[in-house]
Structure 1
Amino acid sequence: MTDDLYERGMATRRAVLGDAHVDASLAAATDFTGEIQEYVTRNCWGDVWNRPGLTRQERSLINLAMMASLNRGHEFKVHVRGAVNNGVTRDQIKEVLMQVGFYAGGPAALEAFRLAAEVLDAMETA
């Protein structure tokens, strides 16, 4: 099912995460997981990511802090790439993760630093 909110969400999702990631996510969707892909595209990317009040950079930094704090490694790595696509710098990512270290704990920050370095290094060599 597509509609204006879905289409706006798809455009934002592709702009932030890149076509390759979105295409892979959609290609992997099954009868069981297809509806969650539509839901996320419409409600997260179409609505929340397009609300006024925060820039895409600010939303990316918030996502990094939340994903690191919740120890959601896969999504954290996806959003590191998205943050860079949104113009977030390596130093800004480092500062967010330093704050995670204090508020969410050392193990969460150490894992996030490891994952972020993995993504950032791969992006630099690509």
Structure 2
Amino acid sequence: MADQTPQPHQTGGGRRSFGQFAPKFAELTDDVLFEDVWNRPGLSARDRSLITVAALVTSGDATQLRFHLGRARENGVGKDELIEAVTHLAFYAGWPKAMTAMGVAKEVLDG
């Protein structure tokens, strides 16, 4: 059962980043991914952030990881938890992806 604690409302930056360049992409980012998927009941924003960080580490997406590590901190995931998640994923996602992710984490979390 999902935590009933009020969650921070998740918003995207699609229109701000791509509104003029790719309006449909911006719309889908803001209205579907963030407004709908990120704000669904069933998982807390904290849990969604941890899952998203894990997915980005395993895919090797350092650019999106940079953003989502910050979002995870905003959603209540601790620095030590994020470091532990990357360490744990090293054995499932592969050492090179974890090394890249840990470098990004060090930049974002200690920056």
Give the TM bin, normalised by the shorter chain. Answer: 0.7 to 0.9
Q: After TM superposition, what 4+ stretches of structure 1 lie above 3 angstroms from structure 2?
A: 25-28
Deviations 1:35-74 (A, max 9, x none): 1111011111111111111111100000111011111111
Q: Give 1:44-123 correspondences, 5 Å limit.
A: 44-122=33-111
Deviation, 1:29, is 2.0
- What's the RMSD between the two structures over aligned residues? 1.6
Identity %: 33
- TM (norm. structure 1) is 0.74
| CA distance in 2: counterparts of 1:97 and 1:59, whole angstroms | 16
Match of 1:12 in 2: 10
| CA distance in 2: counterparts of 1:107 and 1:72, whole angstroms | 12
Higher helix share: 1
Question: Which of 9, 23, 26 is residue 34 of structure 1 equivalent to?
Answer: 23
| CA distance in 2: counterparts of 1:51 and 1:28, whole angstroms | 23
Deviation, 1:80, is 0.5
Structure 2 unaligned blocks of 5 or more: 1-8
Query: Structure 1's 77 and 83: CA in aligned 2 closer, same or farther, altered over 3 A?
Result: same
